[in-house]
Each structure stands twice: as C-alpha cells, then as structure tokens.
Structure 1
C-alpha cells in the first residue's frame, strides 16, 4: 500500500490525477483511431526521451521502459491528454534539458552512468527548491523569473516524464501479471462491457 500512496502523492504534486479506468480508456481510445498519426516529437527528441526513459526505468528483474514500450505511452499521454500549456511546457523543458545534456556530455549508450548521475543530482532537489517550483506552477510562463526559468522548465519536464513512466509501468499488462495472482482476478475486465 505504500507504493500506491507514494505514486498518488507524486501524481498530485505535478497536477496529474488519473484513475486506472481513465488511463485505460485514453490509451484504448487512441489505439482505436486507425488513421496514421504524425509523431508528436521529432527523431532527436524521441531518441533523447528514450535514453532518459531507460535511465529512469532500466531493465532489472522486471521489464524496463524499452521492453514495455513506454516511449509510445509518454508520447500518447503528452500529445492527447495534456492541455496545450502543459504540452508546451513539456516540450520546452525537453528542449532545455536536451541542450544542457548535449553541452555536458556526448549523448550515446556509453554515457548511461553520466545520465544517471546527472538525473539523480537534479531529481534530488531540496524541499525549498521544490516549494519554489510549485509556487511557479500558478504563474503564466512569461512571469517566471528569468534566472530560474531554465531550471524550472527542466524540473517540470523531468518530474512529469518520471511520473508518466511510473503510471505507464504500474498500468502495463506485463507488470500487472507479475504483481497479481490470477486466482485473485478470475474475471477479465474489458472496459465498456458492463
């Protein structure tokens, strides 16, 4: 039960509240639309997000972000569920983070430890910094002080990405099978068939 509380608290802190049913419905609705969709992120952004996904949620004894194809989940959630302001903030934060990573290191598979160290340092912000960033959530982007705007956008991007990965991971069918005993769920639930 501690994991569920932690995830709920994390989601609340970034302004995302979603039930399992809502997430399932959104993903299924996007899958039912058979017209070809233009990718939301460009190739460079996709590659960078994929690398961050694999750093944040690596393969261990459970499947990681790549195996679970959470790249598509993140893109779908940003593209189809975020309001325009939040989409813009995510993409701006992505751009800023990518620029900072490119300045500090070469982005390839050999720098996984560098990424982990950088992300750990950034995600371990102080309570004071977190409180400051949460106050900024209520301001329009043009009113955010220039001296902290870069860090704020990076914070919003990384924390949102991490939250989306946690949501995608916890609601993925493969993970559900690992966490649940089949005898506890004798009836398969299919949304819309009530």
Structure 2
C-alpha cells in the first residue's frame, strides 16, 4: 500500500465516522429521564418517587424526592438490570402496591407517612429474612433493589452529595486522621 492509498482509506474511514455520528444524532437517538420504553409508566415512576421519599425523607436535609430518585430508579432498572431482574422489580412494585391496599384499604400514594413507614419497615424485615435464606442462584428481593437504588440515586446526586454529605469541591491535602465526632456527616467523594 502506498501513501496515497493509505490517506484515501483513512479519509474514507473518518468520513464514515463523521457521517455515522451525524446520522445517529439526527435520528433522535437520545436518552431522557422521562423515557422508559414502556417498562414504567408515569404513575409507577411517581410511586417509586414516594417509596424513595419514605426511605429517605426530607428532614434538615432534602429527601429523595428533591434528588429526583424515582426517575433515576426507573432509568437504572431499564438500562442496567437484566431482563430477569427487571421482571422481579416490576412484579415487586405491583406486589408492594397490592399488599399495601390489602393491609390499609388504600393505595400507597394516598396514605399518610406513618402507614408508609410502618409498611416499608415490615417489608424491609421481610427482605432481610429472604436475603438470609436465599440460594445464590435466586434473584434478590425487589425491596432490596429499591433500597439500594434509592441510596445510590440520592447520594450520587448533587443534592445528596452537597447537602446531605459534607462536600469539599476542591479538596486540599490528604489527611488520613481526621477527628470524628458522633453525628458528623460522612464525606462525599
């Protein structure tokens, strides 16, 4: 291969990459927080938001709702979970709502904070027992997935990292021995 052929082939490859990228961008291939491709509807995302807010409520710091954790959970389940885990999660979301209606005679969304907290506390005990006795090849409990995604979504959000954790935008020197007082917030990374 001579120099001219090499330049022509490189130009052909680069032109294809540029045209391919332009085609990809112009066909509307974009991700959106509100786009779930049918896995979750808007009511389910609002339910996830309320579940997350019950797990991490607003106190002196913002809660999960302020961080938009419901949409985060829906996006993570859609984009990152295997089909089997997606099925467990979506079935679990329906199970949660049905069990709540059986126990309290109303939907999770229309109930008060005390009922939500009591229900999720009992569900947490259930998932801990399930995790203790489950076999390695069994899927995780759906509420375990909800809790993990709530914590991940909140503490990796701007709200969680800057207002719930101690945050130093430009860290100084490394000090491996910082005094800790009971009640101090953890540091954001």
Shorter-chain-normalised TM-score: which range?
0.5 to 0.7
Larger radius of gyration: 2
Select the residue among 137, 141, 162 that pairs with 1:177.
Answer: 162
Displaced runs of 4 or more, over 4 A:
125-129
State the alpha-carbon separation in 2 of the partners of residues 160 and 42 from structure 1: 19
Cα gap change, 1:61 to 1:82, in 2 (>3 Å): same
Task: Name the one with the larger helix percent.
Answer: 1
Q: Give the drift of 1:50.
A: 2.2
Q: Give the conservation status (yes or no) of the 8 Å contact 2:127–2:144.
A: no
State the alpha-carbon separation in 2 of the partners of residues 62 and 158 from structure 1: 24
Cα gap change, 1:122 to 1:34, in 2 (>3 Å): closer
Q: Give the drift of 1:55.
A: 0.7
Count residues in correspondence: 139
Give the unaligned 5+ runs of structure 2.
1-28, 174-189
Give the unaligned 5+ runs of structure 1.
1-31, 142-154, 187-194
Higher relative contact order (CA 8 A, sep 6+): 1
Cα gap change, 1:174 to 1:54, in 2 (>3 Å): closer
Give the 3-state SS of the residue equivalent to 1:124 in structure 2: helix
Give the 3-state SS of the residue equivalent to 1:47 in structure 2: helix
1:82-161 paired onto structure 2 within 5 Å:
82-105=81-104, 106-107=106-107, 108-125=109-126, 129-132=130-133, 134-135=134-135, 137-139=136-138, 156-161=141-146
TM-score (norm 1): 0.62
Give the superposed CA RMSD.
2.8
